[in-house]
Amino acid sequence: MHWIDPNSLPEFAGKFECFVLNPHGEVDGFVMTGDTSVSILVHTPPHMDDELTRHIAPGDSIRVRGVRPRGAELLAAVAVTTASGQKIVDEGPGHDRKHPKVKHQPMDAEGTVRMSLFGPKGELRGALLSEGVVLRIGPKEAESVAPLLAPGAKVAARGDGAETQHGRVIHVLEIGPDLHALKPVRKPKPKNPKEDPKHKPKPDAEVRAA
Q: Could you confirm whether domain 6-89 is CATH 2.40.50.1010? A: yes
Q: What pLDDT sits at residue 207?
A: 42
Residues 75-123 pLDDT 10s:
999 999 999 999 999 998 877 767 778 899 999 999 999 999 999 999 9
Confidence label for 71 from pLDDT (cuts 50, 70 and 90): confident
127: pLDDT strictly greater than 90: yes
Q: What pLDDT sits at residue 31?
A: 97
Tell me the percentage of the chain whose pLDDT exceeds 70.
89
Q: What pLDDT sits at residue 200?
A: 56
Residues 133-151 pLDDT 10s:
999 999 999 999 999 999 9
Domain boundaries, the chain: 6-89, 104-184
Q: What pLDDT sits at residue 196?
A: 54
Element (H, E) at 125: strand 124-129
208: pLDDT strictly greater than 60: no
Give Cα separations from 16 to 11, 84, 151, 183 (angstroms): 15, 13, 20, 35
Tell me the percentage of the chain whose pLDDT exceeds 90.
76
For 132, other C-beta atoms within 10 Å of its C-beta total 13
Paired strand residues for 104: 162
What whole-number distance in Å separates Cα of residue 186 and Cα of residue 171? 13
What whole-number distance in Å separates Cα of residue 141 and Cα of residue 158? 15
According to CATH, the topology of domain 104-184 is: OB fold (Dihydrolipoamide Acetyltransferase, E2P) (2.40.50)
Domain 6-89 identical in fold to domain 104-184: yes
